[in-house]
């Protein structure tokens, strides 16, 4: 292992770790010395501390060490405890801070955006608080490792994201007081208009047809009467539909849809194939067909 780990903005070397261990030995005495039994063990411990602390700047490590000596007066800190203090000095948000920042859409640190991408906006908006906290703790360690592995890339991606114009938040599904008032007013207007239409239609007769003669499934069905029935319903203006019974009104809507369907298909680009073309071409190109006896007649 190299004795010096150099990053873009800081330099933490093995000599710094040696001075730190000497300081801890003088402060905590036997409590610190008992962590290792031989020089080889101390060498491995020093390399482990160097690997973890080299993620931070020299000033961040020094500030964290000073707080460590103040916080842990009676027993020496572990590497994890010192790393936590270094993270605070580096401005890295803790899991609870990440939750608060994600809910507020405060992407001032790459770690917040990385965990936000893992959880998703829908879960943050609609999920329960305990589920959000659980998922944040679940993704925190991996995202923190990814951030420390390539901090420059993470900051560049965050800067690019924040530079993009933000979309407006979706409108609230809960109507406001003015929207509810406007809806009630429009409903009242529609009800009043409907009542006026009903009054205007009162007394207007409609032509009645024999149900058997206009039902294609009935044995007494008459096509000519059905044609008259269809023509009559199509001739009824929209404002007089209220005079019709429900069955007649439904059939009228069905007739209108069938009448408008060819035009709708034409606008959609559908070109109907002339009937008989495919049949004729098949008969013409298929050659003579062999006839078989119908054995059912025997």
Partners of 13 in beta bridges: 4
Q: What is the pLDDT of residue 230?
A: 92
Q: What is the pLDDT of residue 296?
A: 52
Neighbours of 95 (CB within 10 A): 18
CA atoms within 13 A on the CB side of 230: 15
Q: Which residues contact 250 (CB under 8 A, 6 or more apart)?
A: none
Mean pLDDT of the chain: 81
Q: Which residues contact 131 (CB under 8 A, 6 or more apart)?
A: 123
Mean pLDDT value of segment 5-29? 75
Q: What is the pLDDT of residue 282?
A: 45
Asked if residue 285 has pLDDT above 60, the reply is: no
pLDDT in tens, 175-190: 778 888 888 888 888 7
**Do residues 53 and 12 make contact, with C-beta atoms less than 8 angstroms apart?**
yes
Give the position of tokens 């005495």: 29
The whole-angstrom separation of Cα 28 and Cα 73 is 8
**Do residues 236 and 244 make contact, with C-beta atoms less than 8 angstroms apart?**
yes
The whole-angstrom separation of Cα 100 and Cα 225 is 73
Q: What is the pLDDT of residue 171?
A: 65
Q: Which of 238-242's residues contact partners 24+ apart within 8 Å by CB, and which partners?
A: 239/197, 239/200, 239/201, 240/201, 240/204, 242/197, 242/198, 242/201
Distances from the Cα of 77 to the Cαs of 35, 141, 162, 282, in angstroms? 11, 20, 38, 90
* pLDDT tier at 203, thresholds 50, 70, 90: low
pLDDT in tens, 271-282: 766 655 544 444
Residue 170's SS3 state is coil
Asked if residue 169 has pLDDT above 90, the reply is: no
pLDDT in tens, 210-265: 999 999 999 999 999 999 999 998 998 887 777 788 898 899 899 988 888 888 87
The C-alpha torsion from 242 through 244 and 249 to 252, rounded to 10°, is -110
Distances from the Cα of 204 to the Cαs of 161, 199, 218, 234, 252, in angstroms? 67, 10, 29, 17, 18
Give the position of tokens 């008989």: 276
Neighbours of 88 (CB within 10 A): 16
- Cα angle vertex 40, ends 37, 46, to 5°? 95
The whole-angstrom separation of Cα 111 and Cα 144 is 7
Q: Which residues contact 264 (CB under 8 A, 6 or more apart)?
A: none
Q: What is the pLDDT of residue 179?
A: 81
Q: Is the dihedral of CA 161, 162, 164, 166 positive or negative?
A: positive
Q: What is the pLDDT of residue 8?
A: 36
DSSP, res 265? H
pLDDT in tens, 107-156: 999 999 999 999 988 888 888 889 999 999 999 989 988 888 888 898 89
The whole-angstrom separation of Cα 101 and Cα 92 is 12
pTM of the model: 0.47
């Amino acid at each position: 292992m190299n004795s010096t780990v150099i990053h873009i903005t800081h330099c933490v070397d093995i000599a710094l770790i040696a001075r730190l261990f000497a300081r801890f030995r003088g402060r905590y005495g036997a409590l610190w010395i008992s962590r290792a039994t031989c020089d080889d063990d101390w060498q491995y411990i020093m390399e482990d501390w160097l690997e973890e602390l080299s993620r931070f700047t020299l000033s961040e490590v020094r500030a964290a060490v000073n707080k460590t000596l103040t916080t842990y007066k009676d027993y020496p800190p572990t590497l994890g405890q010192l790393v936590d203090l270094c993270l605070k000095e580096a401005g890295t948000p803790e899991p609870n801070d990440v939750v608060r920042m994600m809910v507020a859409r405060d992407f001032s640190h790459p770690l917040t955006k990385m965990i936000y991408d893992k959880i998703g906006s829908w879960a943050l908006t609609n999920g329960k608080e305990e589920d959000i906290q659980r998922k944040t703790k679940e993704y925190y360690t991996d995202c923190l490792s990814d951030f420390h592995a390539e901090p420059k890339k993470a900051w560049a991606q965050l800067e690019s994201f924040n530079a993009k114009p933000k979309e407006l938040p979706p409108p609230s599904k809960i109507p406001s007081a003015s929207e509810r008032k406007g809806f009630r007013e429009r409903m009242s207007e529609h009800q009043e208009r409907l009542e006026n239409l009903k009054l205007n239609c009162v007394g207007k007769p409609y032509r009645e047809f024999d149900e058997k003669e206009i039902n294609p499934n009935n044995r007494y069905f008459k096509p000519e009467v059905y044609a008259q029935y269809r023509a009559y319903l199509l001739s009824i203006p929209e404002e007089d539909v209220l005079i019709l019974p429900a069955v007649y009104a439904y059939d009228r809507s069905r007739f209108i849809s069938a009448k408008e369907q060819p035009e709708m298909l034409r606008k959609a680009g559908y070109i109907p194939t002339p009937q008989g073309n495919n049949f004729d071409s098949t008969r013409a190109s298929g050659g003579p067909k062999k006839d078989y006896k119908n054995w059912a007649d025997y």
